[in-house]
Amino acid sequence: MKNVVIYVHGKGGNAEEANHYKQFFDDNFEIIGFDYKSLNPWDAKIEFINYFNSIISKYNKIYLIANSIGAYFSLISLSDMPIEKAMLISPVVDMERIILNRMKCENITEDELILKKEIETSFGESLSWQYLSYVRKNTIHWDIPTNILFADNDNIISVDTMTNFANKINANLTTMRDGGHWFHTEEQMAFLDNWFKENI
């Protein structure tokens, strides 16, 4: 029975990004990009659980690589899955803090959000009371062996938030200096590749 690596992309990404990671595994591993469709966490939880349940019996070991919002969806959905190891790249680990920061930037109070239920913002995304409520009720509980790659200039998650989260779940945290949330330049990808080789 083969092993499998499931890659979960971030916002604006795609399942084909999984091909990048084939170089790190031999023929005993199948590399699959999970082409999920969900845009919110309550739909993602159902979709992710159903997908992983459909593949568990087909493989010996399951490894997870997840990026940004895809990592967040994985963290709230897959904690009970038999995942051997998780490799998280710029994971969103405190969605409540992100939403509250955006509300603050837009001068939106919780009372307003409760009243209007959904409010369009200047950064092109709407804020939703349903989303914020769900995030608060569905906190992350994760004890799968995990390595996290993060950059200290990430504009979504602070260094303190990521450090505290890594400590909470006993993850190995690697921080790239002067990098951003999206690992995509030649230098950033070289750093990512070295991190991956050292930790997988």
Distance CA 6, CA 17 (A): 11
E strand segments, 131-171: 146-151
Environment class of 173 (CB within 10 Å of its CB; exposed 0-12, middle 13-18, buried 19+): middle
Is the dihedral angle over the CA atoms 119, 73, 162, 143 positive or is it negative? positive
In order along its 200 residues, the chain shows pLDDT tens digits of 899 999 999 999 999 999 999 999 999 999 999 999 999 999 999 999 999 999 999 999 999 999 999 999 999 999 999 999 999 999 999 999 999 999 999 999 999 999 999 999 998 889 999 999 999 999 999 999 999 999 999 999 999 999 999 999 999 999 999 999 999 999 999 999 999 999 99
Sorted by where each begins, the domain ranges of the chain are 3-93+140-199, 94-139
**Secondary structure of residue 98 in the 3-state scheme:** helix
CATH 3.40.50.1820: does it fit domain 3-93+140-199?
yes
